[in-house]
């Protein structure tokens, strides 16, 4: 769970990853399901605490994505929008 919920708040990324708190509803649903699966298969008490108090814990999670991957997604979206506009 430490990788999913970094307690220290000191994510040292040296410019290789983007750290963002702006998860989409899809991201949030996926995260909730991942934690639910973790609880189901491991009996994790901490995971259960997080799910039971989701409104408090949800804002503490951060979306971490490699910088180059985020750039590629943005470029793909621009291309898609360009094609859709034509």
**pLDDT tens per residue across span 49-75:** 999 999 999 999 988 888 888 889 889
| Residue the block writes with tokens 């708190």 | 21
Query: Using one digit for the tens of pLDDT, what is the confidence trace for 16-28?
Result: 777 777 888 999 9
Instruction: Confirm whether 4 is domain-assigned.
Output: no
Considering the chain, what is the average pLDDT of its residues?
83
Domain count, the chain: 1
Instruction: Confirm whether 24 is domain-assigned.
Output: yes
Instruction: Confirm whether 58 is domain-assigned.
Output: yes
Instruction: Confirm whether 36 is domain-assigned.
Output: yes
Instruction: Confirm whether 6 is domain-assigned.
Output: no
Give residue 46's pLDDT: 96
Say if residue 9's pLDDT is above 50.
yes
Q: What are 48's two structure tokens?
A: 């259960």
Which residue range is the domain that position 68 belongs to? 17-85
Instruction: Confirm whether 53 is domain-assigned.
Output: yes
* Cα dist from 14 to 10, 21, 59, 62, 67, whole Å: 12, 18, 23, 16, 11
Instruction: Confirm whether 8 is domain-assigned.
Output: no
Instruction: Confirm whether 59 is domain-assigned.
Output: yes
Residues 11 and 62 sit within 8 Å (Cβ to Cβ)? yes
């Amino acid at each position: 769970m430490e990788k999913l919920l970094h307690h220290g708040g000191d994510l040292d990324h040296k410019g290789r990853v983007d750290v963002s708190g702006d998860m989409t509803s899809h991201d949030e649903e996926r995260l909730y399901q991942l934690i639910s699966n973790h609880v189901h298969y491991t009996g994790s008490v901490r995971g259960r605490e997080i799910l039971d108090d989701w409104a408090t814990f949800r804002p503490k999670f951060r979306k971490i994505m490699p910088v180059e991957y985020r750039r590629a997604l943005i470029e793909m979206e621009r291309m898609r929008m360009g094609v859709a506009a034509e």
